[in-house]
Amino acid sequence: MKALWRVLGVALYNFIIFRRQWMWMAQNIMFSVSTVLLVLGWGGSQAVKTLVPVYIVASGWIFGLNIVGQIVGYDRISREWERLITSPLNLVEYLIGLTLGSSPPLLSGIVVIIALAPILSVNMASIAVALLLSLVAMVIGAFLVLAIVLRIRNPMNISAITNPLVALTTFLPPVLYPPTIVPEPLRTALVAIPTVALAEITKLLAVGFSAIPVELCIVSIAIWLVVTVIATLNVLRWGLE
């Protein structure tokens, strides 16, 4: 029970930031709706049925890569990290509480997408699959960026790394657009990018189609999980140095 209260305390501490900056949530809602309308206008209802689950997974990735990565990075550089370490908190409680408390921007966009799903004739089963895979995406994204930002000493460099990483892994590769426009063998090689692999697994489970062999996608995700966890644990020290 004490562990639960500690987790809730960290969650509330981080939630206060977003309560005061509610425009971040409004911005995420507007971006989600705009993305759906853009795809609906250019690709029609079938494109939306494919995009919505992938968008949810991509949102989980961006949340882990950008929001969680930045908050942990800033806590690590500031004296806040030392204060947390000297408290009864352990590392797992801190990460869970931080994730829960900083999730309003992520959840606001996803809730709107789910509300629009019946109107757009999106299968709710595909939404459920996407929500589960978004957790995997969030974990990999968070561990990937933590392995990088925890080595940084200058706080100005954190967002300078996380923001470009979002564009590099989400908008540049074929995640929100079909990989079929990329010629082989480059198309299959793109499975090495975790967001591409996650998107293709999502498409197969949600709409029954994948442009890249899903076996390769699963192997890619498994490798990324192992590598990012090991890389992060090598630099993440819950203790005073």
Does pLDDT of 22 surpass 80?
no
Contacts of the segment 130-134: beta carbons below 8 A, 24+ positions apart = 130/52, 130/53, 130/54, 130/56, 130/57, 130/202, 130/206, 131/56, 133/57, 133/60, 133/198, 133/201, 133/202, 133/205, 134/56, 134/57, 134/59, 134/60, 134/61, 134/110
For residue 119, is it within any domain? yes
For residue 239, is it within any domain? no
Domain that holds residue 140: 2-233
Angle at 146 between CA 144 and CA 149, to 5 degrees: 115
Which residues lie closer than 8 Å to 5 by C-beta, 6 or more apart? none
Number of domains in the chain: 1
Banded pLDDT at 197 (limits 50, 70, 90): very high
For residue 241, is it within any domain? no
Mean pLDDT of the chain: 84
Q: What is the mean pLDDT of residues 221-225?
A: 94
pLDDT, residue 225, reads 92
pLDDT, residue 240, reads 55
pTM of this structure: 0.88
Does pLDDT of 15 surpass 90?
no
Banded pLDDT at 19 (limits 50, 70, 90): low
For residue 240, is it within any domain? no
Q: For residue 60, what are its two tokens?
A: 């989980």
